[in-house]
Amino acid sequence: MSAIVGSSTDTDTALADVARGSPSPEARHVPGAGLDPIFKAALYGCSGLILVLLASILILLFWGGWPALATFGPSFYWSTVWNPVTEKFGAGVMIYGTLFTGILALLIALPMSFGIAFFLTEIAPVSSRRPVGMAIQLLAAVPSIIFGMWGVAAIIPLMANYIQPPLIWIFSSIPVLGYLFKGPASGLGMLTAGIILAFMVIPFITAMFVEILESVPAMLKESAYGVGCTTYEVFRNVSVPYGRTALVGATMLGFGRALGETMAVTYVIGNANRISASLFASGSTIASTIANEFPDAPAGSLRNQSLLELGFALFVISFIVLAISRMLVRTGTK
């Protein structure tokens, strides 16, 4: 943009020179000409800095974690051993925890987001759309550590006293489902982490859903209403299929956000380096393991290198998820 501005100023000056007949030194002097290259250089510098920063993070993680990968081989990514005493580390438990809590969060958040988005676009009276929309945005602005505090203070006692004991009592004797609901009712665990992540992820998904649903052409919806479709039928058969690709993309954006959440998850997930089928079992995510163990792992030790390798794995997973989501959203909303 600046280049175009600069050249039009130069062109004006050149034309003025031609009209005058001879270029005069005073006419040549453009007020902004001296600062313009500096301005452009600063802009290049800013963008370059961001790229350099991204590259340096990637290189730090890759280079720092490479010795761990070299020691353990590719089995590092699925090994479930994390033993600081024997110095054997593996990312299996953390990758499982990260993906499992992310999927749990999506399972809880998706129906609510669909509901809120459709409510905001179709059903809500116009006067209440702004307040409800703003309330959703406010939820997005809450810092994640506050969600962690809320989780510990409100959700954990709720789960431990009212939700987990009845579920354990009902399901633990049923053969297959029982494995999902085993364990002491400590209030912590994968399900609690999934619930808190769902609340963190709902504003993002809802905002994008609203945008996508609003982009459905009014003509399509009007014609559906015209032939007698109910609101639900319009939603299910017109709006959602129209924006299907973009909706999937928005979901993956929410998933990408849930993958990287640290403090909210660390407080409620129980920090156990074990895989268990139960929803109430403690586990770990990549972010919670790094938050817990990185300060104690001296630089250069195998544990430190394994943690850096974990960070690299998270970086790669998040990057892939977000890239797919952007691609889908872009092709979905024209």
Partner 1 sequence: MKISFFALAASVALSSMIAATATYAGDITGAGGTFPAPVYNAWASDYKAKTGSAVNYQAIGSGGGQTQITNRTVDFGASDAPMAADKLAAAKLLQFPTVVGAIVPIVNIDGVASDQLQLTGDIVAQIYLGKITKWNDPAIVALNKSVTLPDLDIAPVYRSDGSGTTFVFTSYLAGVSPDWKSNVGSATSVQWSAGSGAKGNDGVAASVKNTKGAIGYVEYAYAANNGLTIVDLQNKAGKLVKPTLATFTAAAAKADWKDAKDFAVSMVNVEGDEAWPIVSTTFILLPKDPKDPAKSADVMKFFDWAYKDGSAAAEKLHYIVLPKDVVDNIRTSWKADVKGADGKSVYGE
117 binds partner 1 (CB under 8 A): no
- Contacting residue, 110, 116, 117, 188, with partner 1 by CB under 8 A: 188
Q: Is the Cβ–Cβ distance between 286 and 311 less than 8 Å?
A: yes
> Shortest distance, CB of residue 33 to partner 1, whole angstroms?
17
Q: Which is nearer to partner 1, 245 or 292 (CB)?
A: 292
CA end-to-end span of the chain = 25
Q: Is the Cβ–Cβ distance between 289 and 314 less than 8 Å?
A: no
274 binds partner 1 (CB under 8 A): yes
113 binds partner 1 (CB under 8 A): no
Q: Which phi-psi region, left, alpha or beta, contains residue 124 (left: φ > 0; alpha: ψ -120 to 50)?
A: beta
Q: Which of 199, 190, 202 is nearest to 96 (CA)?
A: 190
> Shortest distance, CB of residue 292 to partner 1, whole angstroms?
5
292 binds partner 1 (CB under 8 A): yes
- Contacting residue, 22, 219, 298, 334, with partner 1 by CB under 8 A: 298
Residue numbers 304-323 binding partner 1 by CB under 8 A = none
3 state DSSP class of 228: coil
C-alpha–C-alpha distance, residues 138 and 191, integer Å = 24
271 binds partner 1 (CB under 8 A): yes
Q: Is the Cβ–Cβ distance between 253 and 205 less than 8 Å?
A: yes
Residue numbers 70-99 binding partner 1 by CB under 8 A = 81-86
186 binds partner 1 (CB under 8 A): yes
261 binds partner 1 (CB under 8 A): no
- Mark residues 220-259: x for contact with partner 1 by CB under 8 A, - for none: ----------------------------------------
Q: Which is nearer to partner 1, 243 or 270 (CB)?
A: 270
Lookup: tokens for 201: 């992820």
Q: Which of 96, 286, 104 is nearest to 192 (CA)?
A: 104
3 state DSSP class of 89: strand
3 state DSSP class of 273: coil
Taking CB under 8 A as the binding criterion, the range among 36-44, 65-73, 132-140, 179-187 that sits at the site for partner 1 is 179-187
Could you tell me the CA-to-CA distances from 112 to 136, 192, 239, 329 in Å, in that order? 12, 17, 17, 20
Q: Which is nearer to partner 1, 187 or 311 (CB)?
A: 187
31 binds partner 1 (CB under 8 A): no
Give the binding site for partner 1 (CB under 8 A): 81-86, 156-157, 160, 183-189, 270-274, 282, 292-293, 295-299
